[in-house]
Structure 1
Amino acid sequence: MSAGAKQIDPFAEAQSLAAPAAAAAPGPTTTGPATPAAGESWKAEAGGMALIEALALASRTAEELTGRAVDAVVNSELNAHGGWTIDIDVLEAKAKMGTNDLLCCYRIGFGADGSLVGYSRLRRYHREDG
């Protein structure tokens, strides 16, 4: 690393991306790895696409495909295509009263080059039913 270059922590960047959604409404939050060894898998790269890039791409893709705002990233893992599979909660309908919003969890898969290889809705639920 050259002098003056800034080292980037992908985990910290991922949490900063999730912070605006978490601040907007109470509900599921992104948490860090349980152990230092698990932390290394968060920093892993798949075919040249780092996890932080995949998280940003998944958020944009979910918003484009559903036309709705992303609420939280709930899971990420390397997939058989050499890319990432990411589960994202999307705000389906805001509660008329209180905080019992209707959320949908979508699974979005990317290949090693960032191409979309899969998309499905896993479940639809009220925030209070979590």
Structure 2
Amino acid sequence: MADKSENSDKSAANGRGGSPAALEVLRTAGAQLAELTGLRAETVTRFERTDEGWVIEIEVLELPRVPDTMSLMASYEVTTDRDGQLTGYRRARRYERGRSDRR
């Protein structure tokens, strides 16, 4: 049987009410996206809790080129349930690494 402090540590790591901690959700979503697309996450640009779970925007390298500033990047919007399991993803945009947004 686990002692009381061990149970408290697990609860703290899981975040509020037994739901997974934010970093755990990020790691899981990134790994699931990589498995489905074959693309490795480079950075996270959005991370937001919703009523249904989480919305995460992950940037990936889609097509490496030389020079690196001409490589094609993509931004994927990933949604998860409250447990952090991937429920869907879509490519939100595609762009050259060296280009900035016109916003």
Does TM-score exceed 0.5, indicating one fold?
yes
The normalised TM-score by structure 2 is 0.74
**Cα offset, 1:47, TM superposition:** 5.9
Please state if 1:60 is matched with 2:31. yes
After TM superposition, the score normalised by the length of structure 1 is: 0.60
Tell me if 1:86 matches 2:51: no
Please, what is the CA RMSD of the aligned residues?
A: 2.4
Residue 69 (structure 2) pairs with residue 99 (structure 1): yes
* Contact 1:85–1:108, Cα closer than 8 Å, also in 2: yes
Aligned residue pairs total 90
> Which position in structure 1 is the counterpart of 2:19?
48
Which ranges of structure 2 fall in alignment gaps of 5 or more residues?
6-12
Q: Report the CA distance between 1:101 and its aligned residue.
A: 1.4
d(CA) in 2 for partners of 1:68 and 1:128? 19
Q: Which residue of 1 aligns with 2:10?
A: none
Q: Give, in whole Å, the separation in 2 of the partners of 1:105 and 1:127.
A: 11
Q: Matched residues in 1 for 2:54 and 2:20: separation?
A: 8
Shift of 1:50: 1.2
Question: Given that residues 54 and 114 in structure 1 are in contact (C-alpha distance below 8 angstroms), is that contact kept between their aligned partners in structure 2?
Answer: yes
What is the CA deviation profile of residues 70-118 of structure 1, one whole-angstrom value per residue up to 9, with x for unaligned ones?
A: 111111001231x211100010011122432111100111111222222
Partner of 2:47: 76
Deviates more, 1:69-78 or 1:45-54: 45-54
Structure exhibiting the larger radius of gyration computed from Cα positions: 2
Aligned amino acid, residue 70 of structure 2: N
Comparing both structures, which one devotes a greater share of its residues to strand?
A: 2
Indicate the percent of aligned positions where both proteins have the same amino acid.
36
